[in-house]
Every structure is written in structure tokens, then in C-alpha cells.
Amino acid sequence: MLTLSATRPLALLAAAAILAVDVVHGAYPLTTDSNCGCYRTNATTSNYFAHHQFFDFRSLSQYVNVPKPIDSFDQNAQAPPTSSFFTSSPWTNTWSIQNWNNTALLGLNNSDVNDATVKMVNTPNNIYIERSTDPNANGQTYLTMRTIRHPTFQSASEIESSSQGYQFLSVRMYARTKGAAGAVTAMFTYRPPPTPLNISGVQEADLEIRTRDPPTYVQYTNQPSWNSTADIPQATRNVTLPGGRRWSDWAYYRMDWTPGSTSWYVNGVFHSTITFQAPRDPAQVMFNAWSDGGSWSGDMPINNEASMQIQWIEMVYNNTDPGAIKTGKCVNICTIDETTKLGQPALITGGTPVVTPPAPGGCAAVAKYGQCAGKTYTGCKTCAAGSTCRYQNDYYSQCL
């Protein structure tokens, strides 16, 4: 069975406190999600989130199935799930396996929108549970997402959250990437542009591995990456993994999207922060493995493949879906960082509430660094004490 921990629908509580960054350890007693009002992360500046989910792929031997590649473009899109695991409610309640293709983008013949040179199709056939053969493995199985270069096209894999309402989160995975040059594997948030051709309107925070890069490199990006060449260094980081690690090694990857910035960690160590072009509005969470022959992925040699293998995914997050917003106080503060058991929260405090003061008109005051105005913004426009709503652009003002 899939291990899934999920809170009742709640939402954003924002606050800040100075803490040390650390990998999972035990400082507080274990508890359950039903006893947690919010979750505090252990970043340099901590943030509070309302929901928790944990997806464990390490003990799913009954679902093991490594399917053969399908050499038909159309049949890849029509392929069924590789096991009943991917039709079970713990999976489908949160994730959706994609089967879209890029033929419409190729038909535009517009390299400013997409410079792919190879037809690509996402397929359920490339997402499956695989048995671990690693020496001293800490699990029996893992989730595999692969991409394959066929003679006339590329098959890929992508999972998307069913919800498009994530607004600020800390998402983590224990994963590795293996295979041929010419692929990209990624964990990211994504909000599409207002219209398909208006790519400058996309909002995205990425952790990406390109198999064409040196084996110690990882890419961190806020998108849109730039409006001019001068913006590139502000929006993108091409960073060497710490400790001489390679992306083919198992590693604990973490991405924190918070108001005004995105930060990345590897094996519990802070790695990078980008404030430029940080996403603002509700988005989906996605994972993928792909190649399209374009300038970003490169062109994978025919009959080669690459894959991202994931042992587990964990998230604490806020969500703007109907019924998911909580304002006011959080009495029971929990942590997924300072716990003795992966995937199970620990209780930091159950006595002292974290209070979001009500603003005039009955809405909860926006915490410092949160959004407070903008053309499409419908939330509270009063900032918490000590901060003022300051204009950034027509679509975004921020409490600073």
C-alpha cells in the first residue's frame, strides 16, 4: 500500500523564526497529522504550512512491473497504467499521469516559443514501480519515470498534481537520475501563462538535472528565466552538488517556495536561493523525465533512455482550493524535519498558538513577504504589523 499522510484541508500560516538547517533527527515526540494544526520548516528562516503529504514507494513489491517500450507514437498516448497502484485512490487523489504530446508546438515553427526538433509524447507506459537491486538498499522498490528515444520520436513521462492551488510549499524527494545524455529530469511547480504563446507569463520554480551536463551539476531556476540576457544570472543557477556527489547517486532534494523566493537544499544542506522572478500565484506540483531534441535537453541518441528513480516524495504546503484556507491560529505546531521517523510528523508545541491577527474587514492580515495587491489578486490587502504593501508590478504587490 502507498503510505500517505494528509491533513484535513487547511491553508497558509506565515511566520518567521531563526533555526538551524539539519537533516531529519529527533528532538520532539512523534504525533499524527490529525493532531497538527500547522508545520514549521527548519530553514534559516522558517515558514509555516498547513498541509502534509508523504508518498512512500519503497515497499510496493506487489506492483513491480517494468514494461517494454512501445514503438508507436499513438499507442504510447493510449497506454494503460502499468499497475493498479496508479489507479488506487491514494495516488489518484493527488496525482495525474499525463499523455499529452508536443505536435501542436512543433507545428507553430516558432523557436521563441519552443525549439524542439523531435516529436515527444508522454505515456503512462514510462511510469512504473521497479524492484531495487542496489546493495544494502533501504527499500525494496522505487518509482521510475523514464524517457526513451525511439527511431522517429521521444517518449517521456510526467505526473502533475490534480490541484492547481498550491501556493507556497516545501517539497522533497529522495531520488537519483541515470541514463543517456540528452534528457531532463525535474521536480517543479508550474502555473501556465495566460495564453499558450505568452510564455513570459509562466510562473515556475524548478529543480532540474540535465544528463548532458557534468555528472555533478544540478539546475535551479525561477521562470520566466529572463526578459533579457542580463537577467539570466539572476534567474538560473547551475550548481555543483556538495560533497562531490553525482546525480546518479541517491540524494535528498528539497525545494522551498516561499513568498518572494525559492530555495534549494541537497542532503539537508542549503544550496541556493533565487528571489528574481519567484512565483507568486497558485500552481501545480510536477515531476517529469523528457527530451525533445531542443537546446535545453539536447538530442538523445536513438535507442537510448534515461530515468529518474524516486524512493519517496514529501510535501508541506498551503493550498487555495475551496475549503482549504485557514486563517487565525495554529495551536499544535509540528515538524517533518526534526522527527525520528520519515514521513511522520513530530509535535513541537501544543500550548502556544501562532496567531494571525485579523485585518479590517475580517480577513487575516498578510504576513511579511506575502502578496497584498495586484490585478488578479482577490485576497486580503492589509499587511501584518511592521510591514507595508509595496508595489512590484501591475500583478503583484508585496508586504515588506
Between CA 291 and CA 303, with CA 297 as vertex, the angle to 5 degrees is 45
Check pLDDT > 80 for residue 361: no
- The better pLDDT of the pair 374, 184 is held by 184
CB distance 126 to 148 below 8 Å? yes
The mean pLDDT of 141-164, rounded to a whole number, is: 98
CB distance 176 to 250 below 8 Å? yes
pLDDT tier, 108 (very low <50, low <70, confident <90, very high otherwise): confident
CB distance 147 to 291 below 8 Å? yes
Residue among 178, 186, 163, 384 at smallest CA distance from 283: 163
Residue among 394, 307, 320, 364 at smallest CA distance from 129: 307
- The better pLDDT of the pair 24, 110 is held by 110
CA–centroid distance for 132 within its chain: 24
Predicted TM-score of the model (pTM)? 0.81
Tell me the CA end-to-end span of the chain in Å, nearest whole number: 45
Residue among 55, 11, 19 at smallest CA distance from 37: 11
pLDDT, tens only, 189-235: 999 988 777 777 899 999 999 999 999 999 999 987 544 444 444 55
DSSP string over 188-215: EEEE--SSTT-GGG-EEEEEEEETTS-T
Pairwise CA distance, residues 132 & 7, whole Å: 30
Cell of 48: 509555516
Predicted local distance difference test score (pLDDT) of residue 19 = 29
Residue among 365, 359, 212 at smallest CA distance from 293: 212
Between CA 363 and CA 367, with CA 365 as vertex, the angle to 5 degrees is 145
For the ranges 89-98, 270-279, 385-394, the one whose mean pLDDT is highest? 89-98
